[in-house]
Amino acid sequence: MIDFTFTEEQDLFRKAAREFAETMVAPRIQEMEESGEVSLDVVKALGEAEMMAITIPEEFGGLGLGYTARLIALEEVGRVSCAVAMMLQVFALGIEPIVKFGNNEQKKKYLPGLATGERLATVGVTEPTGGSDPTGGRTVYKKDGDDYIINGRKCFITNSHIADTITVLAKDDEDPKAFSTFIVEKGMAGFKPAHEEHKVGMKGCNTGWLIFEDCRVPKDNLLGVEGKGLRVAMSAIGDVGRGGMVGCSLGVLTACLEEALKFANERVLYGKPIIKLPAIQDKIAMMKLDLEAGRLLGYRASALQDQGARCDTEFAMAKYYTAEAAQRAAKMAADIHGGYGCMNEYAITRYLRDSFVLGPSAGTSDVMKVIIARSAM
């Protein structure tokens, strides 16, 4: 039997996540939009609400609720603020390699502080010479006694300026085929965040560069096996990163549908609300269809992930579908607003800008199609 219903616990969790987003995140949106800065109040609230603890095992201070719960939380936070959902999604992306590949000492050292939000995380893979192709990166490491020395730079890193614990992919300077993943900590000599980007959307979520200049990292900070780091970094991006983007995209889709319905019910033309017009209903139907189809793809992938089953293609499909659908929904919802859809006073313009950023994050739509086709072939 296939059960498409959420458990009572999951429904209660969704209710709590929605309440959190509406009371703790919504009041900060204007300020984040205007300043483009991360709201530290929101970060603190995320920690207090145990939003960073969802996928961390209980024995290391987490909730151990799994990936469906995470998707629910991201969908609800993303419905209110895609920027905050993105920040939260990438915290988990920095945490996952420690959960999956860290040794017991590393888990004990890092996870409890990450679960409470006392420490914040991110993952550094992308470089100017390698986004879709992470092997094109030029950040290198070399062994020096009991330490590793890292040199290079990473770009487009979410939480670059607020993260304390950064999972970084680097290449062996003597063997371009060997990659390793390290935990770099804020304050380590030779490491600094640099150049904060000004994105078209997701204002309030920080994106920037990371610079490594003879950054000395102790061998205890190597994650997994030396030379096998590509798998460590990419398994986090593949499942957790794409799963997180599905949550952000579903949030935007829901927000677009709700905003379009609200406007279409209030806007009166020809003596009646425009929701009565077949052309408007057509757009509403397409948004609703995309939302439900995206949910089915996304929650199926997260259910597989919770079972420990392989889910990379499922998340590639869900990521492709929901990110594209969120962009379609934002365009349709803006169209329903007529001229008001071009005015920044209306939330729909934020959804339009945010939806644009969903595309490349955690892998472009082209790359998702490559993964899907590879699986089909």
Nearest distance, CB of residue 368 and ligand FAD, angstroms = 9
Residue 126: which of 241, 12, 23 has the closest Cα? 241
C-alpha Rg value of the chain to the nearest Å: 21
Based on the shown chain and the rule CB under 6 A, indicate whether residue 92 belongs to the binding site for ligand FAD: no
CB of 150 to ligand FAD, least distance (A): 15
Cα dihedral 91, 96, 97, 102 in deg (nearest 10): 110
E-only strand ranges, the chain: 121-124, 140-144, 147-158, 165-172, 175-185, 191-196, 207-218, 222-223, 268-269, 272-273
Rounded alpha-carbon distances, angstroms, from residue 18 to 23, 74, 172, 247:
9, 10, 45, 13
Three-state secondary structure call for residue 99: helix
Which stretch in 69-77, 257-265, 322-330, 357-365 sits in contact with ligand FAD by CB under 6 A? 357-365
x/- mask, ligand FAD, residues 51-90, rule CB under 6 A, reads ---------------------------------------x
- The window from 249-257, 269-277, 309-317, 356-364 that contacts ligand FAD (CB under 6 A) reads 356-364
Binding mask 6-35 for ligand FAD (x = CB under 6 A): ------------------------------
When the beta carbons of 232 and 303 are compared against ligand FAD, the nearer one is: 232
What b/e sequence results for 256-269 when a residue is b if at least 16 CB atoms lie within 10 Å of its CB, and e otherwise? Answer: bbebbbebbeebee
What's the N-to-C CA distance of the chain in angstroms?
29
Distances, alpha carbon 372 to alpha carbons 17, 313, 318, 366, in Å: 31, 6, 10, 10
Q: Which is nearer to ligand FAD, 136 or 338 (CB)?
A: 136
CB of 266 to ligand FAD, least distance (A): 33
Binding map of ligand FAD across residues 141-180, x = CB under 6 A, - = no contact: ---------------xxx----------------------
Place of tokens 């499909």: 317
- Considering the rule CB under 6 A, would residue 362 count as an interface residue with ligand FAD? yes
Residue 139 interacts with ligand FAD (CB under 6 A): yes or no: no
Please pick, from the candidates 126, 180, 302, 305, the single residue that binds ligand FAD as defined by CB under 6 A. 126
Choose between 206 and 221: whose C-beta lies nearer to ligand FAD. 206
Q: Is 194 in the site for ligand FAD (CB under 6 A)?
A: no
- Listed ranges 52-60, 103-111, 262-270, 359-367: which one lies at the site for ligand FAD (CB under 6 A): 359-367
**Strand pairing partners for 151?**
140
Residue 206 binds ligand FAD, judged by CB under 6 A: no
164-184 exposure pattern, b = at least 16 Cβ within 10 A, e = fewer: bbbbbbbbbbeeeebbbbbbb
357 lines the binding site for ligand FAD (CB under 6 A): yes
Question: Least Å distance between CB 162 and ligand FAD?
Answer: 12
- Judged by CB under 6 A, does residue 363 bind ligand FAD? yes
Report d(CA 299, CA 294) in Å as an integer. Answer: 8
The residues binding ligand FAD (CB under 6 A) are 90, 122-126, 131-132, 156-158, 199, 207, 357, 360-364, 366-367, 370
